Amino acid sequence: MPQAELRNDRSSRTRPARPRADDRGSGDGSAILDDGHEMLVPDHPPRSGDLDAGTETLTREDAATDVAPQRKARPNRKKKKKKSKRRKAFEYRMRLFLYRVRVAIENMLWWLVAPAVWLVFRSLRALGPDRASNLGGWFTRTLGPLLPVHRVGQDNLRHAYPDKSEAEREAILREAWDNLGRTAADYAHLKDLWDFDPEAGDAGRIDVSGIDNFVKLREDGKPAIIFTAHLGNWELPAICASRHGLPVTAVYRAPSNPYVARQIEKIRSRNMGNLLQAGSGQAVIFKMASVLERGGHLGILVDQHLRRGLKIPFFGRTASTNPSLGRLARRFECPVHGVRVIRLPGNRFRLELTDELELPRDHEGAVDVEGTMRMVNGIVEGWVREHPGQWLWLHRRWR
């Protein structure tokens, strides 16, 4: 073959014209080009290596135009979502399982503690009021400082009495432990503890101040709110009202142990009249309001922390305070009294009922809720400062 023809032939093989869509092959793996030359087409698709190095059938230009570039494999998002959902479902089931295990263990421990509490209660009952109170005070005064909650009381006292020495604050806290143990032991003798006789004066175990206010509350036919604090034995005001004909619904907080709570509720209901268990939500507020709507009297403890309460000063620190008393007083325009119990030497008590409070009012003449709670906190703080060792410093009042 002449060299010119050979060059033409090689040129045609290395730079082939692109076949048209209507070109037909010869059936043996070849194709007819526009210039009449025949190009061999492989039966199998070209490999990536053939495209990179160049082959007799396709040039680099053709590879760039005719072969689609290879895309990187995308991660399968659906599979990832499925795995994420499965993992979340598994974690939820594990949390639920662990929660049920914890609840089961707590119930078992509570069930084991309840008979022990009942046995202690029966033993204290057999000892009599005085020996039971002395034993309860000694027990908590000795064991209490070893418990973690003792540090809560130390921190509270450090902020409330920064001017006192460490020894003075520790003495107050030990007295608070003593009062708590005596109050717990008094539960065994609630029906016998209240022996007040208005005609006999202070001859018994109980001394009462403010009897005229008590009689007025009983006979005026008006609803009223009576607040108290965790001072002395804070269960005695409800017993006093029940024994002397003053219908009072006492709002109380049940212990965490449901078995012990049932035992305590039986003791309270036999000696305190109507009871209303405190809880979260608006249901308790509605029940408290219904008591006042019927002309009844409501007994409330006001020195406990409420997470969403009003920020009111107490011992110079902001304390989240329950505004229920102020709101109910604003709505019903009812009298408000304070009552406290002071533990006296010789296992005696003095109950003091204040006069009706002159509540602060806003520019429209309605009861000022926040101002009322500031007044109440101030009264309770004054009570505590008179007898600091009889208040429950172990409660996390400031958080």
- The DSSP output letter for 197 is B
Question: Token pair of 321, please?
Answer: 């305070």
Question: How many Cα atoms are found within 13 Å in the side-chain-facing hemisphere of 260?
Answer: 20
Question: How many Cα atoms are found within 13 Å in the side-chain-facing hemisphere of 312?
Answer: 29
CA dihedral for 121, 124, 128, 134, sign (positive or negative): negative
pLDDT at 24 over 50: no
What's the CA gap between 285 and 348, in Å, rounded? 35
What's the CA gap between 171 and 169, in Å, rounded? 5
| Amino acid at site 189 | H
340 in helix, strand or coil? Answer: strand
What's the CA gap between 259 and 114, in Å, rounded? 6
So what's the pLDDT on residue 34? 47
| Percentage of residues in the chain having pLDDT higher than 70 | 77
Tell how far CA 366 is from the center of its chain.
33
pLDDT, tens digit, 9 for 90 and up, residues 107-158: 888 788 878 888 888 899 999 999 999 999 999 999 999 999 999 999 999 9
pLDDT, tens digit, 9 for 90 and up, residues 328-374: 999 999 999 999 999 999 999 999 999 999 999 999 999 999 999 99
pLDDT, tens digit, 9 for 90 and up, residues 60-110: 444 444 445 555 555 566 566 666 777 888 888 888 888 888 888 888 887
User: Residue 354, Cβ neighbours under 10 Å: how many?
Assistant: 16
